[in-house]
Structure 1
Amino acid sequence: MRIRATVAAVSGALALSAFAVPAAHAATPAAPAVTFSNMKVNSGKAATVGATTTVKLPVTYTVTHASGLDLSTIENGPLIYRGTSPQDYSTEIISDDQGTCTAASTTTLNCKATISVPASELYNSDAGTWKAGGLAVDTKTGGQKWQGDLGTIAIRRQAKLTADATPEPVKKGKTITVTGKLTRADWESGKYVALGGQSVKLQFRKNGTTTYTTIKTIKSSSTGALKTTVTASVDGYYRYSFAGIATTSTVSATGDFVDVQ
């Protein structure tokens, strides 16, 4: 990912954050004696990133340390990563700033932070499941504690969906044609592109009610186009609904009202 390309030259620093990391030492300094746990990214929910948006993910976590440990020089923060190791700069995004922590006991801190995920720094192949991790840095000695496998979060490309039912109005018993288009965010171009070959539900909501019912399921064409027909019966709203896939968000079109006469 491009966002990590600038990090490799920073000798272990949290280059995307406000962490302060001293110059490299001749000998590898000891890692801070802390442990991360109870990490929850975005309240455990999947994150949807549009073609040009930046999504800010709230993170909560616990830091456990030895009683009496001097924390004045130790900074910490969460991260998400795609590779096998949280220490791989090419596949990680680290918190905007170090965590804000409150002592819960003499040996534990309850912390929170924010991780920003900008579409402009993502490849489409980055969509999917990410792992959560943490990094603590001793700003005096340069010691670093990296910890991974603290949970997962799905990062998905945003989907968009339209629906247009015609003619309007229509006589009862006549044919209604419902067209639409399914697209999703292309992070690399900053645009929305066709999403073809996907199962999409045509749904109907009778005027005066609040619940949509699925009428049929069709597939989007190679251009993302959707088209099918139904028989007019009563006034109501037609929409398409897409359940999403591992890399792409769920979405339902705005219902299009048809007056049946």
Structure 2
Amino acid sequence: MTGALALTALAVPAAQADEAPKAEVSAFTAQAPADEDESSGDTRITKVVVNGGKSLSLGTTAKKTITAEVTATDPEGMYETDSFLWNGPGADAANNAIGFAGPTSPTGSCTEVNATTTTCKYSIVIDPAVVYNNTAGTWKLWVSAVGADGDFVTKNVAGTTKILRASTLTANAAPEPVKKGKPITVTGKLARANWDTLQYAGYSAQPVQLQFRAAGTSTYSTVKTVKTNASGNLSTTVTSVKDGYWRWNFTGSSTSTPVAAAGDFLDVR
């Protein structure tokens, strides 16, 4: 689901004796949930893990699966837990929403930890074709948990994760071979996934580290930092000292993944 979509606030009926609650979460609508969390009674959300605590790197073609795990408890036992991911400046101004299905869907399953506590696991496949550049970065997990007695809790931001634009980076050191003490030029290009066009494009004005690893060693050291030009290209000149590998290293940004280029071996004679 895309666009300014989100689940409506949960409507929970009063508990009825000998009657299971009839709380329901509506389908996606054009209205975002209330900007404030809501609760009634003693239902609690005790643990939330989104995508195993890791960011998701999304390119332009391959679909990726993102997961969420929610543990909730109520002294009378749990009836239902639902969740979805949303992105935007506030719950009342969501840019995009990704709906995790409820526990009755093939993409969700719930397990009773004990008589009062349930853990629900959700997953959904994300296609680059249904997200947009302005949604790269932090996503929030909305969660609603309903107890068997009708008590409930709804949190607009029960957890967070990052869905980032995948980055690519190249490196080339020349000329080769080269005499010791002579200048060499190291070039490269930093690009990232454009979800609006489903192509990779140069990433401009980004600081990228030039790194060197001497032959026979395993650790790269940073020599200098260079910013990409308007097309994402990199170029700098250094002095050749010894045989080894040159590479560019991008530490990432709030919207794009970190990436290191493969080292380019330079023969110094």
Name the TM tier (shorter chain).
0.7 to 0.9
One-letter code aligned to 1:85: A
> In the alignment, which of 70, 85, 94 is matched to residue 91 of structure 2?
85
Q: Does the Cα contact within 8 Å between 1:157 and 1:184 map onto a contact in 2?
A: yes
1:167 aligns with 2:175: yes
- Greater CA drift, 39-48 or 235-244: 39-48
Aligned residues with identical type, % of pairs: 39
One-letter code aligned to 1:102: T
Q: Give 1:79 deviation, angstroms.
A: 1.6
> In the alignment, which of 156, 161, 179 is matched to residue 153 of structure 1?
161
User: Could you tell me which residue of structure 2 aligns to residue 222 of structure 1?
Assistant: 230
Q: How many residues align?
A: 236
Q: Distance in 2 between matches of 1:157 and 1:134?
A: 25
Q: Give 1:51 deviation, angstroms.
A: 1.8
Q: Distance in 1 between matches of 2:201 and 2:98?
A: 25
Q: Distance in 1 between matches of 2:146 and 2:198?
A: 35
Q: Where does structure 1 lack aligned partners over 5 or more consecutive residues?
A: 16-30, 139-143
Q: Give 1:33 deviation, angstroms.
A: 8.7
Matches of residues 179-194 of structure 1 in structure 2 within 5 Å? 179-194=187-202
Q: Give 1:145 deviation, angstroms.
A: 7.1
Q: Give 1:215 deviation, angstroms.
A: 0.5
User: Could you tell me which residue of structure 1 aligns to residue 2 of structure 2?
Assistant: 2
Matches of residues 182-261 of structure 1 in structure 2 within 5 Å? 182-261=190-269
Give secondary structure in 2 for the equivalent of 1:149: strand
**Aligned Cα RMSD in Å?**
3.0
Give secondary structure in 1 for the equivalent of 2:234: strand
Give secondary structure in 1 for the equivalent of 2:158: coil
Q: Does the Cα contact within 8 Å between 2:246 and 2:264 map onto a contact in 1?
A: yes
1:128 aligns with 2:134: no
User: Structure 1 residues 68 and 61 mapped into 2: Cα distance closer, same or farther (>3 Å)?
Assistant: closer
Matches of residues 55-74 of structure 1 in structure 2 within 5 Å? 55-67=64-76, 71=79, 74=80
After superposing on structure 2, the runs of 4+ consecutive aligned residues of structure 1 that deviate more than 6 Å are: 3-8
Q: Distance in 2 between matches of 1:184 and 1:220?
A: 13
Q: Distance in 1 between matches of 2:183 and 2:67?
A: 49
Q: Distance in 1 between matches of 2:174 and 2:143?
A: 54
Q: Give 1:49 deviation, angstroms.
A: 1.0
Give secondary structure in 2 for the equivalent of 1:150: strand
Q: Does the Cα contact within 8 Å between 1:79 and 1:135 map onto a contact in 2?
A: no
Q: Distance in 1 between matches of 2:181 and 2:110?
A: 65
User: Could you tell me which residue of structure 2 aligns to residue 37 of structure 1?
Assistant: 46
Q: Give 1:111 deviation, angstroms.
A: 2.2
Q: Give 1:199 deviation, angstroms.
A: 0.7
Q: Distance in 2 between matches of 1:152 and 1:246?
A: 14
Q: Distance in 1 between matches of 2:110 and 2:73?
A: 11
Q: Distance in 2 between matches of 1:100 and 1:32?
A: 25
One-letter code aligned to 1:94: G
Q: Distance in 1 between matches of 2:84 and 2:237?
A: 48
Q: Distance in 2 between matches of 1:37 and 1:197?
A: 42
Deviations 1:92-136 (A, max 9, x none): 112256332221121101222213322111110001211112246
